[in-house]
Amino acid sequence: MNPTTPPEKTAMTATIDAALASIPRERLPALLQRMPKAELHIHIEGSLEPELIFALAQRNGLSLPYTSVEALRAAYAFKDLQSFLDIYYAGASVLLTEEDFFDMAMAYFRRAAADHVVHAELFFDPQTHTDRGVPFATVIDGLTRAVDAAQRELGVSALLIMCFLRHLSEEAAFETLEQALPHRKKIIGVGLDSGEHGNPPEKFARVFARCKELGFRLVAHAGEEGPPAYIWSALDVLHVERIDHGVRCAGDPALVARLAAERMPLTVCPLSNVKLCVFKSMAEHNLASLLDAGLCATVNSDDPAYFGGYMNANFTEAFAALPQLTARHAHRLAANSFEASFAGAAQKLRWKTALDAAFAQA
């Protein structure tokens, strides 16, 4: 035993190790369901279910280019990221009032709570709304009200991350940052999303440098469809603290070694990757090998209304398709989600203790 290791920590670690080794695979689905976890990659506009899109369209007196909920859901057959984005932006067009943003976020938080998500860091895309004439304040006020209600009513803590749309210009990103500054305290960090091809991280180097000066936490989508080079530049040019997706790092051993050495989190989204054809099937997903390479990989839902499932569906479908994933991997994924979050150290320790207890009792 290392003499500097607190004895109680060693005892707990030994208890967990023993518990993890003895949990059979057939008990994993129930354990995956009830273990506490954090979600770090959820676009709140991607949680808009067809039923809510139709309800909001009706409330706002808008007509949709789909005749029914079923017709809209049937259109969710994507061949790549762009084919998804086209429908995603059409769905978001029903969001007009503060109440719409509040209702959308609360619908997500209720599903998250049911999946034992104790903490969520939500992406939102202000430009998707401000470009349609919806004021920035309408978006952020509705979302902030939902964040407060989620803590109060559901016991789910949440933070907001503002994403810049990378297919738009650097100038547009700077304008969005200006609009955000009066609301600075409501936003923990900034991210980068939308179509990756042809929009490398370097395009936003100056925006991210300014955001860092302003104290925002930094994340970016990289290595979903884009090459490993985009992950390198997200790290070295944007100086991000998490990589969103990042699964394509596997093609670059030096990059994998660096990500492991730095414990750089990857927010992996299994169902999204299969739905957008990043992997042909879940059985081909590299989640297990990322974990076995020592990476701080996490599981997340990305755009759950469009990709066929929320947090626990992502866990259970990945574990069902990948027989090499064990209780040890499940515990590691949940522990990684807390480690990679932007919550405070004391809160992280409380969640990790609850996680260990859930496995010790399994």
> What are the residues binding Zn ion (CB under 5 A)?
302
Helix (H) or strand (E) holding 245, with range, is strand 242-245
Token match 């208890």: residue? 15
Q: Are 20 and 351 in contact (CB under 8 A)?
A: no
Q: Tokens standing for 16?
A: 């967990």
Rank residues 225 and 302 by Cβ distance to Zn ion and give the closer one.
Answer: 302
Instruction: Work out how close the CB of 269 gets to Zn ion at its nearest, in angstroms, rounded to a whole number.
Output: 6
Query: What is the C-alpha separation between 16 and 23, in angstroms, rounded?
Result: 11
Rank residues 88 and 102 by Cβ distance to Zn ion and give the closer one.
Answer: 88
Instruction: Work out how close the CB of 268 gets to Zn ion at its nearest, in angstroms, rounded to a whole number.
Output: 11
Instruction: Work out how close the CB of 115 gets to Zn ion at its nearest, in angstroms, rounded to a whole number.
Output: 18
Instruction: Work out how close the CB of 190 gets to Zn ion at its nearest, in angstroms, rounded to a whole number.
Output: 14
Instruction: Work out how close the CB of 14 gets to Zn ion at its nearest, in angstroms, rounded to a whole number.
Output: 38
Helices (H), the chain: 7-22, 28-34, 50-59, 69-74, 81-92, 98-114, 126-130, 136-149, 170-180, 205-213, 228-236, 253-261, 270-275, 287-292, 304-307, 311-321, 327-339, 345-360
Query: What is the C-alpha separation between 324 and 179, in angstroms, rounded?
Result: 47
Rank residues 76 and 359 by Cβ distance to Zn ion and give the closer one.
Answer: 76
Q: Per-residue DSSP letters for 102-166?
A: HHHHHHHHHHHHHTTEEEEEEEE-HHHHHTTT--HHHHHHHHHHHHHHIIIII--EEEEEEEEET
Instruction: Work out how close the CB of 250 gets to Zn ion at its nearest, in angstroms, rounded to a whole number.
Output: 18
Query: What is the C-alpha separation between 204 and 126, in angstroms, rounded?
Result: 16
Determine the residue with CB nearest Zn ion: 302
Does the active-site annotation cover 317? no
Rank residues 286 and 326 by Cβ distance to Zn ion and give the closer one.
Answer: 286
Which of 49, 196, 224, 225 is flagged as catalytic? 224
Query: What is the C-alpha separation between 356 and 302, in angstroms, rounded?
Result: 26
Query: What is the C-alpha separation between 50 and 75, in angstroms, rounded?
Result: 11
Rank residues 98 and 115 by Cβ distance to Zn ion and give the closer one.
Answer: 115
Token match 């084919």: residue? 83
Rank residues 115 and 302 by Cβ distance to Zn ion and give the closer one.
Answer: 302
Catalytic residue positions, numbered: 224
